[in-house]
Structure 1
Amino acid sequence: MRVIVIGAGEVGRSIASNLADSNEVVVIERDPEVVEELTYSLDVLSITGDGTSLDVLEEAGVEDADIVIASTDDDETNLVACGTAKTVSEAFTIARVKKTNLLDTWRRTTTAFGVDFMVGSDLLTAHAIVQIAGLPGAHDADAFAGGAVRMGEFEIEAESPVAGDTVQEADRFDSLTFAAIFRDGEVTIPRGNTRIRAGDRLVVIGSPESVQEFATQLYPADARDGTDEIVIVGGSDIGYQAARIFEDHGLKPRLIEQDPDRARELAEELPKTTVMQSDATDTDFLAREHVGEADLLISTLENDQKNLLVSLLAERQGVDRTVAIVESPDYIELFEAVGVDIAVNPREETAEEITRFTREGEAENVAMLESDLAEVVEFEVDRESLLVGQSIQEAMSELPECVVVGAITRNGEHITPRGDTHVQAGDHVVVFLATEILDDVLDKI
């Protein structure tokens, strides 16, 4: 498949990297230095130019392209690029946008702007925040198989009930698979005698009830108090969308917005949200409004430094859990190292969604973990799959080590995979694997 990616920022680079092994990928980027770097770092053809230019698109072979992905940081550029590609090509076009109003317009016809599939990064980010918020202590969370399977990533603290246990000792939960451990920047596939250490990032896959129970035991205080008291800082589109989704879940968040006009607008559009017009870095205001009593504070300001400051101030005030939007990927580790519980990068969320969509036919759903070090993939098993006709233990002997079958659903019923479990054609299987072996594994299973 020939794929043209327009824009080689974090989103475009991630998409190109994920698709390069099994597709012919061409990247169009205006910055010649980035183009030169890409030529050496990825197995892609890189072209210097403007992706809205018909001449540049033709140079990239748009007439023969199967997919064109416009992933620059500018909404209008992405829309024009897709529209231009449609004038000379039958390629399927994907556009990344931040403005939700553009997404709303496109959804009315799904053919507006010459875009076949539109990804709204702000709305995706808001949904990711709400998913994580609903799982005590989770650093990442996702749902698979229509909600019948859930994945959660948790950091193991020194006082955690499973810290120091072997996986066999910790495996006391029904319908749960200990899929992986991230330790010192590497992926470890846990075996029964693998010991869980403080500081590990543990990935579990299972039924929603079992993952929730596991989270509750890891973080009993968070589970007991719940996340009923939510404070959102910043009336950005991400902040607004998160508040709206929380409202849909029956919650009544509070939202702090400094601009009086924007605060008034949000108050009118969010009937169940208490909108407060103030500066969230004002410690007297935070104390007066008892922000420190919140179960969760989400900082969605359009500035990384301010998000960091607000999160740290909230933590000092006593907030149980903090989530911050981080636009620069270089800051993600810094945020979490200095005390922010969860850093969410909208570009990562967008790259994940676009990659998932381009893999349709291979995968039903995709979640990328630890900056794309590993992935959790859902797919429907066909009769040619390596998994069919033998036990999981037998099938695993023919696959690389970094593969774990985390869950199976059959006719909507959840099945916990064990070594002697037999997968049937038509089952939906959720698998954890290292990103570097993804294409090889999908070819076999």
Structure 2
Amino acid sequence: MKILILGAGQVGASVAEVLTSEANDITIVDQNRESLAALGDRYDVRTVAGNAAYPSVLREAGIEDTDLLVAVTQSDQTNLVACKIARSMFGVPTRIARLRSDDFLDGDLLSPENFAVDHAISPAQDITDYIVKLIAFPEALQVLEFADGKVTLIGVRAYQGGLLVGKPIRAMREHLPAVIDARIAAIFREYQPVELDGNTVIEPDDEVFVLAATGHIRTVMQELRRMQQPVRRVMIVGGGNIGARVAAALEASYQVKLIERDQGRAEIVAGQLAATLVLHGDATDEKLMAEENIDEMDMFLALTNDDEDNIMAALLAKRLGCKRVLALINRRAYADMVQHSAIDIGLSPAQVSIGSLLAYVRRGDVVRVHSLRRGAAEALELVVHGDRNTSKVVGRRIDELPVIKGARIGAIVRRSSEPEVVAKDGFLVDEYVDFVLIPHHDTVIESGDHVVVFCTRKRQVAEVERLFQVSAGFL
């Protein structure tokens, strides 16, 4: 696939890193020659220096035969204009734009007749949604949903004394109620994936990824983690776009304090939020943190635009007694540095945002992609089509499928073959129902199934895509 990336910032670099490993022909456009040079040295990409909104620059970058345009510059206006030009002048089939302002996230504005954006990425909203899920599951390192929220994938760190720690993963079935099933999709030990079978023993500090029906996930987590008290008090550092969004999303359900260093910005945010206590101050000030009772906080979120400030504030909050701390970290070197440190979660904005974009790049009918472990692993949701003649998977048992080392089918969401009577808005109605299967070796895959596949290494993704693609004769 020929892909044109506009913007060599954090998101553009992350997109390039993911896609260059998959035999794509990639060109990156940016006005910053130093950023382009760094990406050109690091990855097998072509670079063009210039304004991404200029047709002449886009033409120089080879837009005439581009399959996918990814507009992720720092300017919403540039991204929108580039998408419009890409469609009206060059007929680019698929156009994706990163948009920071909610003012532009309007379906009519992005329609083919206007700015012609097929898919809009809102990093601030993606990160907000992600953090809200983490607060709902404070024990988790990652919380990711598939099949419209019916299936949840949770990453947790196993602790000494957990019910399954020191036991083989097949023992999980013995602890769970008969009506609950789950699948350990992957285990990472000292940064490396562990080859899984029923006899694999979970060790303390293992990073374990578990898939289950969303309604069952808390019961399953109890096998691996000591359950914490629900989060009630949250402190946020940073009143920028992300910090203000997170506070607005949380303040109706939690007690929220927000600390902002700039007095003018603090006053603006205070006027926007209804129930959040907004404070003007520096979160690396130990006296201020103690006065605001950081030791009584259940969750501390460092969400400024400065990686160093976020790391230092999170470390201070942890030292002063906060139960759990999260730091927003853009630079990969810093994210690697805080791994296994006092900071519980180091969150990369680019890795959170990239999942929705990858679903448009993946081959086959991929409806959801989550990038995991800073891009080292991936979880995909694929829709199965065809029949036994046109598909390599339809009508076949799991144990009949080709073995792709490191790739595991974790869950299947299947629609009922007949309508069932369900309660809806106070009435009983006939409706087709989706139900979650945790597949075993004899489970047969059917056309229409949504299959969630976990790939411990990115090089397995292309093999999985090929396996689930239908043949050329499928209509």
Does the TM-score normalized on the shorter chain lie above 0.5? Answer: yes
SS at match of 2:148: helix
Is there any run of 5+ residues in structure 2 with no aligned partner, and where? 416-433, 469-475
Taking the aligned partners of 2:413 and 2:217, their CA distance within structure 1 comes to 16
The 1:36–1:313 alpha-carbon spacing in structure 2 relative to 1, beyond 3 Å, is: closer
Letter in 2 for 1:127: D
Aligned twin of 1:421: 443
Contact 2:139 2:227 in 1 (8 A): no
Taking the aligned partners of 1:159 and 1:256, their CA distance within structure 2 comes to 37
The 1:187–1:348 alpha-carbon spacing in structure 2 relative to 1, beyond 3 Å, is: same
The 1:33–1:109 alpha-carbon spacing in structure 2 relative to 1, beyond 3 Å, is: closer
Taking the aligned partners of 1:316 and 1:15, their CA distance within structure 2 comes to 35
Aligned-pair CA distance for 1:70 = 1.5
Taking the aligned partners of 2:87 and 2:154, their CA distance within structure 1 comes to 40
Aligned twin of 1:55: 56
Letter in 2 for 1:416: I
Aligned twin of 1:330: 333
Taking the aligned partners of 1:32 and 1:437, their CA distance within structure 2 comes to 34
Aligned-pair CA distance for 1:175 = 2.0
2:214 counterpart (208, 212, 225): 208
Aligned twin of 2:2: 2
Contact 1:3 1:25 in 2 (8 A): yes
Root mean square deviation, CA, Å: 2.5
Taking the aligned partners of 1:309 and 1:42, their CA distance within structure 2 comes to 31
Aligned twin of 1:11: 11
The 1:218–1:277 alpha-carbon spacing in structure 2 relative to 1, beyond 3 Å, is: farther
Alignment deviations for residues 331-372 of structure 1 (CA, whole Å, 9 cap, x no partner): 112223431100111122222222223338531100111121
Which stretch of structure 1 is more off in the superposition, 116-125 or 26-35?
A: 26-35
Taking the aligned partners of 1:236 and 1:335, their CA distance within structure 2 comes to 23
Contact 1:258 1:277 in 2 (8 A): yes
Aligned-pair CA distance for 1:23 = 4.4
Aligned-pair CA distance for 1:221 = 4.6
The 1:221–1:140 alpha-carbon spacing in structure 2 relative to 1, beyond 3 Å, is: closer
The structure in which a higher percent of residues are helix is 1
Letter in 2 for 1:410: R
Is 1:309 the counterpart of 2:332? The answer is: no
Aligned-pair CA distance for 1:442 = 1.0
Which stretch of structure 1 is more off in the superposition, 45-54 or 400-409?
A: 45-54
Is 1:138 the counterpart of 2:164? The answer is: no
Contact 1:180 1:202 in 2 (8 A): yes
Aligned length: 438
Aligned-pair CA distance for 1:108 = 5.4
Q: Map 1:19-418; keep pairs closer than 5 Å.
A: 19-20=19-20, 21=22, 23-30=24-31, 42=43, 44-91=45-92, 92-97=94-99, 99-104=100-105, 106-107=106-107, 109-111=109-111, 113=115, 115-171=117-173, 172-173=175-176, 174-222=180-228, 225-247=229-251, 250-359=253-362, 362-383=365-386, 384-395=390-401, 398-411=402-415, 412-418=434-440
Letter in 2 for 1:203: F
Is there any run of 5+ residues in structure 1 with no aligned partner, and where? none
SS at match of 1:181: strand
Letter in 2 for 1:14: S
Alignment deviations for residues 265-288 of structure 1 (CA, whole Å, 9 cap, x no partner): 223322132323333233333223
Aligned-pair CA distance for 1:385 = 3.3
Structure of higher RCO (CA pairs closer than 8 Å, 6+ residues apart): 1
Taking the aligned partners of 2:283 and 2:459, their CA distance within structure 1 comes to 42
SS at match of 1:364: strand
SS at match of 1:241: helix
SS at match of 1:357: coil
The 1:217–1:261 alpha-carbon spacing in structure 2 relative to 1, beyond 3 Å, is: farther
Contact 1:12 1:351 in 2 (8 A): no
Letter in 2 for 1:70: A
Taking the aligned partners of 1:339 and 1:120, their CA distance within structure 2 comes to 30
Contact 1:129 1:344 in 2 (8 A): no
Percentage of pairs with the same residue = 29
Taking the aligned partners of 2:202 and 2:104, their CA distance within structure 1 comes to 43
The 1:278–1:59 alpha-carbon spacing in structure 2 relative to 1, beyond 3 Å, is: closer
